[in-house]
Structures are given as structure tokens and as C-alpha cells.
Amino acid sequence: MRNEILIISLIFAMASTALSSPIALYSISSQGSLLQSQATRETNEFIKRLKDEKFRDIFGGSAWTLIHDYKDHKHMDEVLDTLQRYMEALAKYEQGDGSSLKQLGGIKQLKDQLAMWLEDNDQAIRAFAATMLGISGDQAYSPPLAKLLVRKDQNADDLIYDRGRAALALGLLQAKEYGKDLVTMLSSTNEYDRAGAVQGLGWMGDKENAKAVAQLLKDKDERIREAAKQSLEMMGASDLIKEKK
């Protein structure tokens, strides 16, 4: 049996170290078309965000959940294999060899695959895919992420956390059009809903929702109270922290 921790550690290492060299920039002429130039820009942006330290803890937490809360080992293994192939291809891309990434369909194919996983039967995979799409920075995937906020086929007995990850991802994408949906989630009885929503609103940096976030400074969960504080700081609304003390 494969060691899932070893696999995800390898992927994480590729994201944080192997991709640490300067990004190989290809000119329009070398790519041959404006379409290819756009693909190059998207790939470079994905790599830049993937190795950004401010996303490292978010990625690490979601990866930990993926390898500890999966339902089907074989299916989870398939997901990890896919991610590994893309990480290896991206590492080669940075060295100037984009052939492997091209064979896989490019960075858009990876993002499309992540979007497909948002519909997966395994919550851990849905949550991980949501996080990765948020880190990608591509706002085109905001609508499918928003659908995850209202997913209906949840088992009432399960601990639901994928909605919270989707809320965080929308924040990472600066998808402010969904700010009201996240504000609604702040009053959820589900702690993961509240945590994801408060973090997402913080990443959006939309100060008009600051008062709603400030209400969670007195949440019963200490982690959510701390997240609310950080979110207010990100919004530039630190004054509300003092008012709630």
C-alpha cells in the first residue's frame, strides 16, 4: 500500500521548493499565437501563487484533510497521482521544458479537473479541489465554487467542511459578488461554515462586511474568534476589534 503522507509531502515539496527557481517566461513569438501566450501567463500565475508563502498553510491543511478523511483509498490515490504528474510537469516547465505540461493539457486542464472534483462523492476531495482552485487565482471558477456552498446531497450525520473550504476559496479569488453568501454563512451552526466564511471575507478585504465579521469576535470557538480578528485586520477594520473587547 502506498504511503499517502509521503506522496502528498512530495507534491508539497514540489510546490514550495522545486518551483522556487525563476519562472521561465516564453515570448509570444516562441509560442506562436496569442492563445498560447495567454496559456503561458496563466501557467506562470498559477506557479507564482502555488509557491506563495501566504497560501502554504492553507494548502497544507487541505492536503492533510485529503489524506486523513478520504472515503475510498483507491480513488484518493488516483487524485494524488494526477496531482503528482502535474507538479512534476510544472517543475520541468520552470526549467524551460513545457512538453510534459502540454501533454497533460496545460494548466487549464488541471483547473478543469479540479472543478470536476468539486462534484466528487468524496468530501475530502471536494474540499481539496476547492482550496486549489482558490489558490489558482482564476475567477472563472467562482461559479462552480459557489455551487458547493449550497450542495444538497450531504449526509446529515457527516461533519460538513467542504462548504467552508469553498467559502475560503471564493475569498482567495476575490470573488466579492459572493460576499453576501459568505455573510449568511457566518450565522451557521456549523463551525466549519463560520470559519471558512469569516476567512473568505477577510481575503476579500471588503470592509463593508466588517461589522458582520466583528460579531464573531465573541464566537464560542476560539479559533473562529482569532480568524475574525485576522480578517478584520486584513480588511483594515482593526478599530472594531477594540470595540468588541
Domain map of the chain by residue range? 1-141
Distance CA 218, CA 144 (A): 32
> Which of 152, 153, 154, 185 has the alpha carbon at shortest distance from 167?
185
Q: Identify the CA nearest to 233 among candidates 207, 215, 208.
A: 207
Put simply, whether the predicted model's pTM sits higher than 0.85 gets the answer: yes
Q: Say what the alpha-carbon torsion angle 33, 38, 42, 44 is, to the nearest 10 degrees.
A: 60
Per-residue pLDDT of the chain (245 residues; tens, 9 = 90+): 455 555 555 566 555 554 544 444 444 344 446 556 888 999 999 999 988 889 988 988 888 899 889 899 899 989 988 988 998 899 899 889 999 999 999 999 999 999 999 999 999 999 999 999 999 999 999 999 999 999 876 665 578 999 999 999 999 999 999 999 999 999 999 999 999 999 999 999 989 999 999 999 999 999 999 999 999 999 999 998 876 65
DSSP single-letter state for residue 96: T
Question: What would the grid cell of residue 37 be?
Answer: 501566450
Q: What whole-number distance in Å separates Cα of residue 19 and Cα of residue 116?
A: 25
Rounded to 5 degrees, what are φ and ψ at 83?
-65, -40
